[in-house]
Amino acid sequence: MAKKTINPMRELRVAKITLNIGAGKNEDMLKKGLKLFQKIVPLKPVKTVTKKRIPGWSLRPGLEIGAKVTVRAGAEALLKRLLVAKENILKASNFDQRGNFSFGIPEYIEIEGLEYDPELKIMGLEVAVTIERPGYRIKHRRVKQTKVGNKHLISREEAIDFVREKFAITISTE
């Protein structure tokens, strides 16, 4: 009897996690957000800047309105900590059609390993997780860049199954 082999190019993995805090025009909130990212991840966060003028919101180009940090190395360990803050429960609506998912954490003190800091008060953050297969590099490389084939793309159901098996998550249907 032939042993069924699994194609290593079809295996899913967590490519990156992007943490985001929107502060609006509040500079104090932005500084607190940068400090919070330093506590969560040892990487340097980047400030997000407006590109358009929106008079109704009093926004102008060049205004710093948020901060983000992208984690690639150690992303799975960080994701486990972040999912504990959500009590290992995600909604099916958190997943998009390409298999990525995102969720919000209303209070940073729910994250495993973080304690309340009176200087930061209570603040939340958004988490966006990108899942991909080996071979996705072809859409980002410099030379001979091309699209990922339809058979190689990740569906919503595949991503939900991957997260359910890998991280022991419960998926609710709202």
Cα three-residue angle 20-39-16, rounded to 5 degrees: 45
The pLDDT value given to residue 174: 65
Show the domain range for 118.
11-172
- For residue 110, being part of any structural domain is answered with yes
- For residue 1, being part of any structural domain is answered with no
The pLDDT value given to residue 36: 87
Reading the block at residue 66, the tokens are: 């948020």
Q: Dihedral of CA 55/60/61/67: which sign?
A: negative
Question: Residue 158 belongs to a domain with what CATH number?
Answer: 3.30.1440.10
The pLDDT value given to residue 127: 92
- pLDDT tens-digit series, residues 95-144: 999 889 999 988 888 887 877 878 888 888 899 999 999 988 888 899 99
- Nearest C-alpha neighbor of 169 from the set 111, 70, 82, 73: 82
The amino acid sitting at 94 is: N
- For residue 35, being part of any structural domain is answered with yes
- pLDDT tens-digit series, residues 32-82: 888 888 888 889 999 888 888 888 877 788 888 889 999 999 899 899 889
- For residue 137, being part of any structural domain is answered with yes
- For residue 5, being part of any structural domain is answered with no
- For residue 6, being part of any structural domain is answered with no
- For residue 4, being part of any structural domain is answered with no
- For residue 2, being part of any structural domain is answered with no
Q: Into how many domains does the chain fold?
A: 1
- pLDDT tens-digit series, residues 4-35: 788 888 889 999 999 998 887 778 888 888 88
